[in-house]
A and B are shown apart, each in its own frame.
Chain A
């Protein structure tokens, strides 16, 4: 299929390796990937910080940028959720923009959601031979409803087993700007998450959101843990490459 890749500002500027892995993954599955370098940001950070005009500007730009793309895939649960769940609120009172936003939402997928929805499970191959703690990000699960797809994909890798709580675990404490506005609370929740990961006996940690991952990774390393931390895209290639986060 012809896919447009929505990189997200976090991956563009801080984790290009993850974006690269996601593109290569999509290509491995036989898709033709396009990318618009004019894309900037979905506006989530500004919106959540209370800066509606700035968020609107960024969101309007994204909607325009992706107006002609049939299918858009992004390796970020929270960015996909921003578009699909919050653009209507962001543009409330502006019926035309609300419509455009809704229309974009219909064409935009989170990566794992896309891969499973379009039946690409069979194309996942390779060895993992590890116990994976998959971190279920809040927006990915609660706002997008993507609860099973990542584990469905991971279980296709040889030797992969999922460890950790069956049910939705509490928030890791990232929450975007919350992580620096209330760092004391954020780090308590991070400590709980790190303890949970240690308890699970996981060989590696994975997730579909780099925001959560950089926070979890940062906490693990600070505590002296060397557990590898991967974005899902980096694992699914099955090539066993090193993750972006060292």
Chain B
């Protein structure tokens, strides 16, 4: 499996020790949140706008099957083809099938996290189909043979120098550090691909069921060109992208770019309604294929707690503000989605076993909930996932680490049960810790408490509880 969520704990530890990762992601995150805050402050009623956005998204997921059905009818009427991909593998096979039947070997792509989620590019490559990313960040990441580190800015982990080095190596020309020079070089290559590709594959930010409109939001214009230039347009979108009505779109656009990048509006918003072209344009009619991806979303929808995560509009704010994401960067998560939203989606999509550590890598500070444009209670979802992990572990017969942890929690509960027991333990702890104390502080504790003292001193056990003091005071009163 290409996703490395199972190795998250060690990847996160390693990343936390790399100050360059922290520098890059803190700088990017801070800048984006500052922009976001400014964009929210300059427009009136943004609090209400978030409430409205949540309401619209809630309306969508509350009756999702119905909207999908409405959408399917609408798209079919318009001459588009609708496909349902239950699994990631299905999505890859369906898309490869469309391309094979049309004899297409060269494909261009607009940025789509859904295609990352299903591993489309690798699959197409294995089928001898070349898929070139046209979003500049995604293109650079593709050249580097790496993976996106942020759902909105895939190349955040790269410095200008990194970009130049990769582009020089892969394009075989001398380039400067100047962003315009680098962009020009990419554009030259990509223009050729745009004009020669047999098909364009995009995601969708939203799909309006009543009009069958695919909404593409971007700053570069590559998604629009990907969708319009080639004769075949394939859209891969999670079923949670379906919204009830075209009239819901402005409510969502009002918060999306402000949250993502601090822009009042994205540079390009494209509405693709039906295949388009045909007799009047003099061009051959397009083939429009919409592949609706489940990959666990129906299961998530059925869960009364986790369905809230389907409200997400993929703005990336939660990543930008997260102190953990800023410290470890995006690659440590090892998944198509990172940060707080990634920590919830990974176990839900890939399974608890594959991503058990992710929900625990949070101090539950709540900053993500505070910035989410649709007010998803991410900390609550993380804690819920923790309880599902613990529950699952408890059913396993052999799990020493889990047994120790559960034992400690129960022992603590027992020890604290009465004031006399607490008093006795307090005196014991004071006595036992005496040899470890220097200048009134403890510098080193044995494993596993050494995880604390590696970087912090620990206070000396007081030897007496508050209850003991209170009782004495009460008696003398």
Interface residues of A (CB under 8 A from B): 7, 9, 11-17, 19-20, 23, 35, 37-38, 40-41, 45-52, 54, 57-58, 89, 138-139, 142-143, 170-171, 173-190, 214-215, 217-219, 221-222, 244-246
Which residue in B22, B360, B455 is a CB contact (below 8 Å) of A181?
A: B360
8 closest A-B pairs by beta carbon, nearest first, are A175-B363, A218-B456, A50-B386, A187-B455, A50-B390, A171-B365, A184-B16, A16-B466
B364 in the interface, Cβ–Cβ < 8 Å? yes
A83–B47 Cα gap in the complex (Å)?
Answer: 26
Are A46 and B367 also in contact (CB < 8 A) when A12-B422, A51-B387 are? no
A136–B19 Cα gap in the complex (Å)?
Answer: 26
Contact A41 B416, beta carbon cutoff 8 Å? yes
CB-contacts of B348-395 with A (<8 A): 360-367, 369-370, 380, 383, 386-391
Q: Report chain A residues within 8 Å CB of B464.
A: 16
Contact B367 A171, beta carbon cutoff 8 Å? yes
B268 in the interface, Cβ–Cβ < 8 Å? no
Q: Report chain B residues within 8 Å CB of A178.
A: 360-364
B236 in the interface, Cβ–Cβ < 8 Å? no
Q: Report chain A residues within 8 Å CB of B458.
A: 214, 218
Contact A184 B383, beta carbon cutoff 8 Å? no
B470 in the interface, Cβ–Cβ < 8 Å? yes
Q: Report chain B residues within 8 Å CB of A183.
A: 451-452, 454-455
Contact A184 B469, beta carbon cutoff 8 Å? no
Kindly provide the distance from the CB of B419 to the nearest chain A CB, expressed in whole angstroms: 4
Interface of A is mostly: helix
A12–B466 Cα gap in the complex (Å)?
Answer: 5
A37–B441 Cα gap in the complex (Å)?
Answer: 28
Interface-facing stretch out of B92-100, B179-187, B196-204, B321-329? B321-329
Q: Report chain A residues within 8 Å CB of B110.
A: none
Q: Report chain A residues within 8 Å CB of B413.
A: 40-41, 46, 54, 57-58
A221–B455 Cα gap in the complex (Å)?
Answer: 10
Nearest residue in B to A61 (C-beta to C-beta)?
B417
A52–B413 Cα gap in the complex (Å)?
Answer: 13
A124–B464 Cα gap in the complex (Å)?
Answer: 29
A16–B390 Cα gap in the complex (Å)?
Answer: 32
B448 in the interface, Cβ–Cβ < 8 Å? yes
Interface of B is mostly: helix
Contact A13 B426, beta carbon cutoff 8 Å? yes
- How many chain B residues have a CB neighbour from A under 8 Å? 66
A182–B325 Cα gap in the complex (Å)?
Answer: 13
Contact A40 B386, beta carbon cutoff 8 Å? no
Q: Report chain A residues within 8 Å CB of B361.
A: 178, 181-182, 185
CB-contacts of B422-477 with A (<8 A): 422, 425-426, 439-441, 443, 448-449, 451-452, 454-462, 464-471
A57–B443 Cα gap in the complex (Å)?
Answer: 34
Nearest residue in B to A184 (C-beta to C-beta)?
B16
Q: Report chain A residues within 8 Å CB of B471.
A: 37
Are A222 and B363 also in contact (CB < 8 A) when A11-B466, A37-B419, A189-B323 are? no
Contact B409 A186, beta carbon cutoff 8 Å? no
Q: Report chain B residues within 8 Å CB of A49.
A: 386, 390, 405, 409
A49–B12 Cα gap in the complex (Å)?
Answer: 19
Q: Report chain A residues within 8 Å CB of B363.
A: 138, 171, 173-176, 178-179, 186, 189
Kindly provide the distance from the CB of B247 to the nearest chain A CB, expressed in whole angstroms: 33
B13 in the interface, Cβ–Cβ < 8 Å? yes
Contact B327 A185, beta carbon cutoff 8 Å? yes
Which residue in B383, B409, B417, B455 is a CB contact (below 8 Å) of A190?
A: B455
Contact B12 A184, beta carbon cutoff 8 Å? yes
Q: Report chain B residues within 8 Å CB of A171.
A: 323, 363, 365, 367
Kindly provide the distance from the CB of A224 to the nearest chain B CB, expressed in whole angstroms: 11
B410 in the interface, Cβ–Cβ < 8 Å? yes
Q: Report chain A residues within 8 Å CB of B469.
A: 16, 20
A214–B387 Cα gap in the complex (Å)?
Answer: 26
B17 in the interface, Cβ–Cβ < 8 Å? yes
Q: Report chain A residues within 8 Å CB of B448.
A: 180
Contact A16 B457, beta carbon cutoff 8 Å? no
Q: Report chain B residues within 8 Å CB of A41.
A: 413, 416
Q: Report chain B residues within 8 Å CB of A37.
A: 419, 467, 470-471
Contact B422 A184, beta carbon cutoff 8 Å? no
A23–B362 Cα gap in the complex (Å)?
Answer: 33
Q: Report chain B residues within 8 Å CB of A184.
A: 12-13, 16-17
Which residue in A40, A89, A188 is a CB contact (below 8 Å) of B327?
A: A188
A189–B327 Cα gap in the complex (Å)?
Answer: 8
B406 in the interface, Cβ–Cβ < 8 Å? yes
Q: Report chain A residues within 8 Å CB of B416.
A: 9, 12-13, 40-41
Nearest residue in A to B429 (C-beta to C-beta)?
A13
A188–B361 Cα gap in the complex (Å)?
Answer: 13
Nearest residue in A to B419 (C-beta to C-beta)?
A37
Which residue in A138, A142, A245 is a CB contact (below 8 Å) of B459?
A: A245
